[in-house]
Structure 1
């Protein structure tokens, strides 16, 4: 019986079940560590840079070390982490794990929900072949969100998306069963509007139609959300529907956005599709993307299936036509 999860889908292979339970145990331990925020202030706020050059807090490194410790002696042979420059070999196991140990750590001091994102593949002959593959080949994917509730969201294989809630009394994740499908209708969208001037024309046109509200072609008002924590954004979309957009833009270093394909977008896309939604790079399914490097970035759009499909429709127009066609604000009405 798993130690930290009270239920897994019937037929889950023993090596995968053990790995998922170890990840749940890591989530329990990290939830406790995050809850101590402020008690170890100097440790929590110290900063450096990770392997990809992004700002890294001491807690990012602590989370990475905790994840490796939790996996020690288990079935994971190769580990690909945001905090490591290359894929790490842990042992002679059968699986490969991709992980962002602590996504959104820059929000820690503001008490905004942060999370852990992970995906599990079968191990291949080499470290690179094990993790540089389309996320449609994932055996399982999920995230832990550390917020008012500590939840584990998990999809095993091509099954439904399961929700677990951490019971602080027992230190175990209790299953609440399969979540409902992502709602089709929602008036929420999430994007960092401060970058509007840098976006490609199709994204500007898509957002313009929503900003226009009742006076625009869609005929009703929308609410914009932006948390700057990918796990929190995904959790809201899974719960309430809507759409999240992080496009590439014209700034130096942002042509492919800033989110990582291997250990952020791939696993989140796996979950979103499992709940009936869609995830893309703006035009093509994110789960079909072939990563070229461990820290490869990609534009990322996910949410209610009809809304993600609509973004792709905006991209189908030649850029020279976008301004003229959308100037009338009447091309698309759904």
Structure 2
């Protein structure tokens, strides 16, 4: 099996960017070890604090966040850092070429039940003429991402990443401490009968969106019915879809704070959209390509439809006809 760095060199990734990816993955290995120790490492349970999103922080959230920040601040190629757990941008090294954004532990509500969790990250080129600690550094559309990836902490620790070419899958070899290429090119089926959505939110959805599920899930005469898979961790649901196709939905709804959706554009939607597209899928927000959205704020939330092209297209057509927005 081929190691990560030779694959990146074969993909003609700049050496400086390769070294930055190594820095992020060094932090992921430490997080993976802490996750594997669970209660033995004293990392389970919640803190008394809430993050900028208003969510109660898990102990492992705080640990993963600080590990990534410390590692990235030690890398002189990093000009600025944005974390889902932090209110503001953190300045790095003046004049450095790259900025990094991340969700340190997506799905952290699963920590205490040994469920799927993961780290999502994205790298952009820094913008000249803008202060290092300005959120304007990160208000770039997702189509400018240089690298997007996630590390899934499960039965094995897997890295799924693209640097602009195909989405590739790697597995952490705990014996040698390196990520090895285990899937040269991830190719998503154009359609399956699986979908991922939190159906508990059905009551808050607009009528047109409810109609999609009334016709495709609850209707006994719908033909081949859809089958639901839901991990309560977007990174886990998207990983399954990258591997075997399907549809992931997290639409906006009528609850306060959810009018524009729940998924963070910078930390989740953009990097996962790049991974999905580069594995042959599609990613949209209210019918528009996610990677073309112009961000308005550091912690902006959006509605999301991602996965197999045919299923995303079908959902978007129903959205457009029903005027869900």
TM range (shorter): over 0.9
Which residue is equivalent to 1:167?
173
| Local SS of the residue matching 2:20 | helix
- Report Cα offsets for 1:68-120 as digits up to 9, x if no partner: 22221331111010111111111131100010011111101111110000110
How many pairs were matched up?
A: 316
Which residue is equivalent to 1:148?
155
Which residue is equivalent to 1:251?
255
**Distance in 2, Cα, partners of 1:41 & 1:315:** 46
Pairwise mapping of residues 1-334 of structure 1 onto structure 2 (< 5 A)?
5=5, 7-8=7-8, 9-41=10-42, 44-71=45-72, 72-92=74-94, 93-125=96-128, 126=130, 127-157=134-164, 159-212=165-218, 215-216=221-222, 219-319=223-323
Asked whether the equivalents of residues 162 and 178 of structure 1 are also in contact (C-alpha less than 8 Å), the reply is yes
The offset of 1:7, in angstroms, is 3.1
| Local SS of the residue matching 1:77 | strand
TM-score by length of 2: 0.92
In the alignment, structure 2 segments of 5+ residues that lack a partner are none
Asked whether the equivalents of residues 121 and 130 of structure 1 are also in contact (C-alpha less than 8 Å), the reply is no
| Local SS of the residue matching 2:161 | strand
Asked whether the equivalents of residues 213 and 222 of structure 1 are also in contact (C-alpha less than 8 Å), the reply is no
How much is the aligned-residue C-alpha RMSD, in angstroms? 1.9
TM-score by length of 1: 0.90
| Local SS of the residue matching 2:86 | coil
Asked whether the equivalents of residues 213 and 220 of structure 1 are also in contact (C-alpha less than 8 Å), the reply is no
- Report Cα offsets for 1:135-177 as digits up to 9, x if no partner: 01100100000001100001002x0001110001011111124
The offset of 1:43, in angstroms, is 5.9
The offset of 1:52, in angstroms, is 2.4
| Local SS of the residue matching 2:288 | coil
The offset of 1:45, in angstroms, is 3.2
Which residue is equivalent to 1:326?
none
In the alignment, structure 1 segments of 5+ residues that lack a partner are 321-334
